[in-house]
Chains A and B, each alone.
Chain A
Amino acid sequence: MIRCLIVALLIISFKSYGAIIDVRLEIKSGTLNLVSGTPIPYKVFTQQSGFPNNSDLLIWEVGDQINLTVVNADSVLHGFTLDSYVSFPSIAVSDSSYQSFTLNNAGVYRYYDPINSPYNEYLGLAGIVHIKNVGDNVPYFYWDVREHQSDWNDTIIQAFNPDLNFYTPDYFTINGNSNPDINNDPTARVVGANGSEFRIVIVNNGLSIHSMHFHGYHFISIADSKYMTGRNKDTFPIYPKDHLVLSCVPDKGGEYPVHDHNLVAVTGGQVYANGIFTTMLIAP
């Protein structure tokens, strides 16, 4: 009887909180302007009319019903996978695929093009889905971490896949931006206050391992796809295709850097510090 009631309550809560959301992601080709100004061929999944620096960040809530259409607006075959929810193995040029699904489990998920792995993902076709718990009001910041070997993108677009054993990226980005532009991206730039919890969702959509070092504070991992959760650290490695959710309750104000401690990755086009470097601004 009690169980029945709980189930009924859950259904009611889904009904009252769950929204119906139409999402139309287009696969587009364009260019990413690196921090040096150099343009490189790039591809994204996006709902936006223009060509963003990064595939869209999708934030939903448990209980939401998603009506997802993925349109291949590119000139070559693509696919779409949202881990645990959606698999469109192939979407022909100018074609689209549709699926409706309800979100049951909170968490951080990746979506990506499963075709020509990992090269299509490397070209930009991978993004973040965050399914939040109902009533989760903690401020979140989102870092889609990547690196780019500027002379590879043209090659891959021309259907030649370079040997991954010779991968030596020369640009490093969060949400498609390098220092100092990361601080102009309100999705990425941490702004908080002493004593107030904030969280950072980090997803590695690149091919390299990154090692994120925080000044000022230790963070606690509340989700980690590779290591045990609950680690209280100042430096968190993140492997390709992995994700992390880090929590911090600042104990002081100030402006504190966060950067990749692979100090090659804080450079961009050989220039210091045009890589993965941003600051957290915490009010006292």
Chain B
Amino acid sequence: MKHLIYILFISLSITTNAQIDYTKLIIGRNTGLKTFYNGDSTRIFGFAESLGEAIDIPGPTIRITEGDSVMIDFWNVSQGAPHTIHLHGLDVDQQNDGVPALSFTVGHMDHGFYVFKAPHPGTYLYHCHVVSSIHVQAGMYGVMIVEPSSGTNVVWNGGEAFDRDLLLTTSEIDTLWHNPDVLLHDTTMGAMIMVPETFEPQFYLVNGITETNLADPLNHHYVGLNEKVYIRSSNIGYMGVRHIFPSSLLAKTISSDGRPLPTEVSSDTVELHPGERFGTLIQVGTDSIYPITTEFFDLNTQNVMSTQTSYIHTSAASIIDLPEPTISVYPNPSHTGIFHITGDLEQAYHIYDSIGRILQSSQDNTFDLSDQSKGIYIMRYQDRLIKLINY
């Protein structure tokens, strides 16, 4: 019954806002759990597109089209604090700006409707603006992309074309800020809200992952040979970030904060401070792997606090639509380093290490990683990738 009323309400509000071109449901929750490469985990807040979807960082990427009237239906299913959605950089009017006291907040089990016109094509952010220092750190952020009205693979109408875009979204996690006494702050109006004395992250995230997770081929960015790729970088953390591309990619930064730059900048380095976004075109060649180095620097001392490496991987195969397995591997994980294959091997398989280097190719039913270090390996067979754990 409740559901019905809700649907009725939505359809009513859609019909009253006759010009809405696109509606997007975003759910806010307080009960996420983020697990890191080393097995540590921490509580997070965050966004999802459906009730069944687990909260992760960053939230879902929202793509809208230039000129469209957009309605974000924000449903707060948090059992906790009110939340909002601030449309960072979209220059929406005060009512839809998502700042408590100046706009509206959305309480538990309430819906908030944010209505705005999609502005100039580019890369934007959305995040909660309730006690933003805490709720953004908690994980309530994601990227919003405005695509040109003339098509998705062009930077803006009449601008350069590209084959695909890739996101580099940076942030950090200091687990001290994720203690319940910080996250579950007083929500009464005018309450004094304290944040921890220090911000000293343990985890420096690129697209929500870090360290060996970035090296895992399952998390590489797969692109085609000789493609032109548009890198959409955004920094929603509390540190400075410096992405360094291999010079062979001929990186050229053409836009920032949803507008063209007055002059293109040909540089392998793109620096982002909190809240900034940049658009950088790169020209992929025929190498199999292109590492992207990301330095996180402290804004007070300018000292580099962490260096992360993510990988652009050229491959004909996509890891998105995997065919049904025709073979399986056992034991996996393997303690001896010996793995066996069941099923008919119609062609050779390849074993890669965690940074994508090929270790062996074979059509045997058994392979041996006992002389390799403990860790994660990847087996590629036809279009399928299988994660192997050698422990």
Binding site for B on A (CB under 8 A): 147, 164-170, 207-211, 213, 215-218, 228-235, 237, 252, 254-257, 260-264, 266-267, 270-273, 279
Contacts and interface: CB of A to CB of B under 8 A. Distances in A.
Interface stretch (B256-264, B287-295, B342-350): B256-264
B133 A273 contact: yes
B240 A270 contact: no
Contacts of A233: 256-257, 259, 276
B257 A234 contact: yes
Contact of A264 (B86, B238, B240, B276): B238
A209 B91 contact: no
A182 B238 CA distance: 22
A228 B261 contact: yes
A254 B131 contact: no
Contact of B275 (A170, A211, A230, A270): A211
Contacts of B88: 213, 234
Nearest to A251: B91
Contact of B300 (A169, A231, A270): A169
B99 A215 contact: yes
Nearest to A211: B273
A267 to B, nearest CB: 5
B99 A257 contact: yes
Contacts of A264: 133, 195, 199, 238
A230 B262 contact: yes
B93 A167 contact: no
Tell me whether chain B's interface is mostly helix, strand or loop, or mixed. Answer: loop
Interface in B227-241: 238-240
A263 B91 CA distance: 20
Interface string B259-287: 11111000000000111110000000000
A263 B301 contact: no
B275 A213 contact: yes
B240 A256 contact: no
Interface of B: 86, 88-89, 91-94, 97, 99, 102, 131-134, 136-137, 192-199, 238-240, 256-263, 273-277, 299-303
Contacts of B198: 168
Given A209-B273, A263-B137, A217 B195 contact: no
Top 5 closest pairs, chain A to chain B, by CB: A261-B275, A254-B94, A230-B262, A237-B273, A211-B273
Contact of B274 (A147, A166, A261): A261
A201 B96 CA distance: 28
Given A231-B261, A234-B89, A263 B94 contact: no
Given A270-B197, A273-B133, A279-B102, A231 B256 contact: yes
Contacts of A267: 133, 195
A164 B273 CA distance: 20
Nearest to A163: B301
Contact of A263 (B89, B97, B133, B277): B133
Nearest to B102: A255
A235 B102 contact: no
B94 A216 contact: yes
A233 B120 CA distance: 12
B202 to A, nearest CB: 16
Given A209-B302, A211-B273, A218-B91, A263 B263 contact: no
A235 B97 contact: no
B193 A237 contact: no
Given A233-B259, A264-B199, A271 B274 contact: no
